[in-house]
Amino acid sequence: MLLYNTMTRQKEEFKPVNGNKVNIYVCGPTVYNYIHVGNARQLCVFDTLRRYLKYRGYEVCYIQNFTDVDDKIIKIANEKGISPFEHAEAMIKEYFTDARGLNVSDADIHPKATESMDIILEMVKKLIDKGFAYQSGGDVYFAANKYPEYGKLSHMPLDDLRAGASERVGQEGEQKRDPMDFAVWKAAKEGEPYWDSPYGHGRPGWHIECSAMSSHFVKGTLDIHGGGADLIFPHHENEIAQSECANGYPLANIWMHGGMLNVDNRKMSKSKGNFFLVRDLSERFGYEPVRFMLLQVQYRVQLNYTREVMESAAASLARLKNCRATLKKAIPAAKEGTVGEYALKICENRKRQFITAMDDDLNTADGITAVFELVREINTALADPETSKGSLEAFEKTFEELTGVLGILYEKEEEIPSEILELAQKRKEARKNKDFAMADSIRDEIAARGYIVEETRQGTNIKKA
């Protein structure tokens, strides 16, 4: 399997540190609000990576943190008149509602910053003791110039980064020795939550949280560290500096970053009025089409969300669902027989096509193409009354296998109400008696209740309109 490594700017063969075991750390959300569609893209991408690695026989430990203390959390909590901890916990619950709606499996470990203060302070002390960090008032800063490789992930020279940082220096700049230095511990401001520390009341800097939590749960180099491309600098750059200075070994072997998401060809932002929460999209389209839409494009490619793209994803998903439903109905009625050689070859070819795509830097777009090729061949087989039950069962197994790796087609089909089934039976009898006027009238009544009746080679098919 080849994965694109942001650090080396090339695809590399994936070789886990410990044989068959894979450790993945993905930066999770700052839980100040419901997740937006950009968050959802990274969730679905790395969930699919985890599924695929398991499919290929790896044992995966997947860690995704929650940043549950942050300026935005504090601001919103103050506006609501509740504690920041209450607000963060409420948003974590809402996160799980949306993540599970998108069929994103819970991480093996979901560490929270607020529950990790001991390990964070331990790393801060280690950085000070080794001469990589210094105290300034109640703050503690990482000294970027003490780490010669600073900038190696973003591929920018330290002088260029320093020049950019100099333009952004604010009040905290008065406490720093160098514009590039960044806080690993921040003195508490009035009205903020704080923790006791050797440096006074305060809370951790954002970057140190992930450094401490990842090294606490994985003793050694991570196989994969992931997140959105917006985290490359400064977050991941600073994580690397802190972690490698504190621990003395590489933080991760492969750095994977998902491409950004635009809305109607513009960067998504509240000020532009093109900001979409997953919750809102799910109410309009359902969660399944959102996941499908996000995986239609290879994860490093910039994705442009439009209503038309979303509607196209829903239509494509409907095609897959229709194939599955027709196949399930056809199997019991098919002629008895074992899997045919031709069907076996089709299944093997499509699995090989799928694996080739996914092995090439998790190319879900081409993986989905393999699924639709399989659907086309299944539909051809369904039209042939000589196709054996064994062949159809082999098609079904392969179809479920590949869609399962992608995490699509997971919502249960809605049960058809008994009164609709009774009307469909009456229509069938009317057609049998050649009373087509009655059959058409019953069909219209079924349609008025929100269902469609179709006659296929496999029999009558009823589905939601």
Write out pLDDT tens, residues 185-221. 999 999 899 999 999 999 999 999 999 999 999 999 9
pLDDT at 274: 76
Instruction: Dump pLDDT digits (tens) for 51-64.
Output: 999 999 999 999 99
Two tokens at 129?
Answer: 């003791």
pLDDT at 268: 78
Q: Which residue has the higher pLDDT, 457 or 49?
A: 49
Asked if 264 and 306 touch (Cβ cutoff 8 Å), the reply is yes
Pick one of 3.10.129.10, 1.10.10.350, 1.10.730.10, 3.40.50.300 as the CATH number of 281-406.
1.10.730.10
pLDDT at 411: 82
Element (H, E) at 304: strand 303-305
How many of the other CB atoms lie within 10 Å of CB of 444?
Answer: 10
pLDDT at 456: 64
Residue 463 has pLDDT above 60, yes or no: yes
pLDDT at 244: 98
Separation in Å, CA 4 to CA 14, 23, 253: 9, 17, 11
Q: In whole angstroms, what is the distance from residue 11 CA to residue 194 CA?
A: 43
Can you give the residue ranges of every domain in the chain?
Answer: 2-258, 281-406, 418-464
% of the chain with per-residue pLDDT over 70: 94
CATH number for the domain whose boundaries are 2-258 = 3.40.50.620
Strand order in the sheet with 59-64: 59-64, 21-26, 222-228, 252-258
What lies within 8 Å, CB to CB, of 70 at 6+ separation is 30, 32, 206
Residue 166 has pLDDT above 70, yes or no: no
pLDDT at 457: 57
Instruction: Dump pLDDT digits (tens) for 82-141.
Output: 999 999 999 999 999 999 999 999 999 999 999 999 999 999 999 999 999 999 999 999
- pTM given for the model: 0.89
Sign of CA dihedral 376, 382, 387, 388: positive
Q: Which residue has the higher pLDDT, 459 or 150?
A: 150
Give, as one character, the DSSP assignment of residue 113: G
pLDDT at 464: 72
Two tokens at 133?
Answer: 């960090």
User: Band of the pLDDT at 420, cuts 50, 70, 90?
Assistant: confident
Range name among 43-47, 187-191, 401-405 with the lowest pLDDT average: 187-191
pLDDT at 347: 98
Separation in Å, CA 141 to CA 67, 124, 324, 463: 20, 9, 57, 61
Mean pLDDT of 424-429: 86
